[in-house]
Structure 1
């Protein structure tokens, strides 16, 4: 895998030429930025910025314009900043404008076919007492939200609303057609949901995004994360996506590295609440 080529493809396909990630959102090029705007339940924020040649005054003007855009709609939003973005002090400028950062994550990518091979045997099978249940309806969404609230300790109302909207739009569920959409899956042990994850794909792109992989504390270390990864990788391969992409936390990064994922960059969400 050529690091610079893959990163350039990711920037082009998933950021600069991004498409809306839900039925209620729109993506637009607004001067030097590409941003998504939707309702209060959608992801709102800046996906890409072209500020390499901008001077300090113009950078600050661009930041202020995004604040005005979302504030006029009463929306909190995120500026998704990558470590290879320009200018190099953009994070400092966002802080000065009132943004608050979340912990950085590592942008990791692997070839889909390689992950499918690595998880084709026993390494990718769930424990014998677990079964994988595709999320295809509202009841499944509730199972996924329950897992996430236990695994991450925070409310998952936003994920709940998002998946319900995708299901209603016909682009959610493991059985969504090959043109793209969301895939979600829950691991169940003894009738109890214990691990869950989702994947989002866009037609015509090389990348399938893996999101929200989490396991309740007492079930960790049993191979459930790998089983959910293998499940999604096989669907990504069927849909023709060459790469799997993850914004990896410090907990998942070592697991992904062992499975062949490579770090391309780091990403830090900067949030602004009007």
Structure 2
């Protein structure tokens, strides 16, 4: 047997969620509680003591608890900013290091250029002094160059060819070697090669002086020999001509006697005769 229960038509079905709607209406009707003034105070204004002690203080309202959704995007942004900041600091450090290296490189280059300029001036002055005082016995300066970091060429070495051979005569050799020695010692700071050339020139000067003295001695001996021979020749000529001179004197005396006799004959009387006395 089938029993059919009658349904009541007074029940009203609503599609809304009763609990949700009730909570919504309750929230709307609930009075909004203003935030406590103590919550806005800073840690310095709230006084000493831990949070637990302040919580146990009677008459003090607890601080409102606020629940917030974690801000994932903000955390990511913070990490990115930290990363960017770290990279920025690294880049700045790298730039500072590169700047220091550039400054050091420029300073080193400037020092090298300065040293090359000083060396160039020293070499040119040194070699030009040799050439100026060497005169006809010295050649033109020859330089050895080096490229500097600034792209210019600088003289770092040099030489001057000078003739140290002997001249045709000892006197000319003495004069030449004196000039060579003066040219070798012309620079303010002569090198070892300069001192060697000066020593060689001094040695040749001494040898030339000795040869010149020997020549002068030989010339004096020869001149003395010639003068002695000439003196001997003059004495022999005097001796050879002595008889002729004596005969001439005798003839002259004879003539004088004849003339005197003639004058005496003319002065005496012709008739006087010979007178003898006893």
- Provide the TM-score with structure 2 as the length reference: 0.18
Higher CA-based Rg: 2
- Provide the TM-score with structure 1 as the length reference: 0.18
User: Which structure ranks higher in relative contact order (CA pairs < 8 Å, sequence separation ≥ 6)?
Assistant: 1
Considering fraction of residues, name the structure with more strand: 1
